[in-house]
Amino acid sequence: MKTGIGIIGVGTVGSGVVEILESKIAYYKQELGLDLKIQQICAKTEDELSPYAQKGYAITTKVEDLFSNPDVSIVIELAGGYDLPLKWITAALNSKKHVVTANKALIAKYGHLLFPLAAKNNCHLLFEAAVGGGIPIIRALQESLTGNTVKSLRCIINGTCNYILTEMTEKGLGFASVLADAQKLGYAEADPTFDVDAIDSAHKLAILASLCSKKYINFENMHISGIREIEAVDIDSAKEMGYTLKLLGIFNQTEQGMDARVHPCLVPSNHLLASVSGVLNAVYIEANNLGPALFTGAGAGKLPTASAVVADVVSIARSMEVGLKPIPMGFYSQENPADLVPIESLFNKYYFRFTTRDEKGVLAAITSILSENGISIESIIQKNVKDPGHVNISVVTERCREAAVNNALLKIGALSSMSQHPKMIRFAE
Ligand code: HSE
């Protein structure tokens, strides 16, 4: 059986998909018995398409041509954005085309609409490249780990943030200058909001957490905080304490409900995740039967991401060959939403930094507010800062309730001697 592929988008990842398919199609035929063919390629302009036309591929600037093409059975969507891709994938599924996408924002935002539609049309909708680029984490959670319950995840799933934090840690630089360099090097977008404010990580965590819990986890209900507020002084304090600062996506299945959140975290420097540096991604899982496991690798980039897209195409082609039904995703629907544990009820260990005027009684005021809120101090360090007459007071707490932390920080922040809003970073637990 010939399996025709239609591709929407020949940017970085799309061109990589064509490149990999061209190099592997003969192998898929000889070794796997799969007769894959790129049937049609769609992009916005003739200019983008001209190299592919020159190679003899059928091209079009009208996406609908792919859906009405009887020789296309798998549509690969690599355009980015969400509203148009939602329209296109809806049309593709309604035309009984299987779909592969790398679009994490689309799956996180509209997966609850698309998965039921795929099921209704008996179509596969695969998205391995949506999380962790080339790391095969989706297939691992959907297939390889089905003999387990994955109870928790600790994820580094945004290469831009991991690069920025790594540079800040290794070079002692501030956030703004590292971000500017990352933009020059092409590691960060001109508008870095989605990355540095952790929205991209939240999309990806919501997808992974839904697969683990078999419930629909809406990223909009998660606590999300990014890395803009991280300062070199906090990274230095982390180092002194034997910790490394990382932006983590955290998921725990607890008796109180699903705990899913994204925020900067202090990770013990001897933990596997602390050594995941630069643009690398990693997903650390705790599975009840397997135990802990780390998946790490390139979370973005042309060929790593394209390799995950191609793996989905091959998986669909094999399923079509043997008549295998799509993996059930019925849980990913608004009728099965997860109740998320509110961040205020988190019981955790915290780091605070108070930058204050060096005045009598400040330390006593801080410690008494912490004590009034039932927060016990594990350690406290006071250091002079460049600004004469000011000090940094770093506090590490014992485990305590986040609601109490919020209350205490509000009161401490209102002390007249405070020269900056208090900083708080959670320890990774
Ligand atoms: N902006 C993403 C990152 C790209 O920095 O990881 C891959 O999703």
Per-residue pLDDT tens over the stretch 353-375 = 999 999 999 999 999 999 999 99
pLDDT at residue 82 in the model: 87
Is residue 162 in contact with ligand 1, taking CB distance under 6 Å? no
- pLDDT of 81 reads 87
Q: How far away, in angstroms, is 159 Cα from ligand 1 center?
A: 5
Query: How would residue 387 be classed by pLDDT, with cut points 50, 70 and 90?
Result: confident
Q: What pLDDT, on the 0 to 100 scale, is given for residue 23?
A: 98
Q: How confident is residue 57, by pLDDT bands cut at 50, 70 and 90?
A: very high
pLDDT tens per residue across span 405-425: 999 999 999 999 999 999 999
Whether residue 204 has its Cβ less than 6 Å from ligand 1: no
Question: What is the per-residue pLDDT for 47?
Answer: 97
Ligand 1 nearest atom to the CA of residue 160, by list position:
5
Q: Is the CB of 264 under 6 A from ligand 1?
A: no
pLDDT value of position 94: 98
Does the pLDDT of residue 293 top 90, yes or no?
yes
Supply the pLDDT for residue 335: 87
Percent of the chain with pLDDT over 90: 94
Q: How far is the CA of 160 from the centre of ligand 1 (A)?
A: 6
Show the 3-state SS of the chain.
CEEEEEEECCCHHHHHHHHHHHHHHHHHHHHHCCEEEEEEEECCCHHHHHHHHHCCCCEECCCHHHHHCCCCCEEEECCCCCHHHHHHHHHHHHCCCEEEECCHHHHHHHHHHHHHHHHHCCCCEECHHHCCCCCCHHHHHHHHCCCCCEEEEEEECCHHHHHHHHHHHHHCCCHHHHHHHHHHHCCCCCCCHHHHCCHHHHHHHHHHHHHHHCCECCHHHCEECCCCCCCHHHHHHHHHHCEEEEEEEEEEEECCEEEEEEEEEEEECCCHHHHCCCCEEEEEEEECCCEEEEEEEECCCHHHHHHHHHHHHHHHHHHHHHCCCCCCCCCCCCCCECCECCHHHCEECEEEEEEEECCCCHHHHHHHHHHHCCCCEEEEEEEECCCCCEEEEEEEECCEEHHHHHHHHHHHHCCCCECCCCEEEEECC
Q: What is the pLDDT of residue 241?
A: 94
> What pLDDT, on a 0 to 100 scale, did the predictor assign at position 317?
98
Q: Which residue has the least CA distance to atom 7 on ligand 1?
A: 300
State the average pLDDT for the chain: 96
Measured by CA distance, the residue closest to atom 4 of ligand 1 is: 300
**Does ligand 1 have an atom closer than 6 angstroms to the CB of 299?**
yes
Question: Is residue 105 lining ligand 1, measured as CB closer than 6 Å?
Answer: no
Residues designated as active site: 204
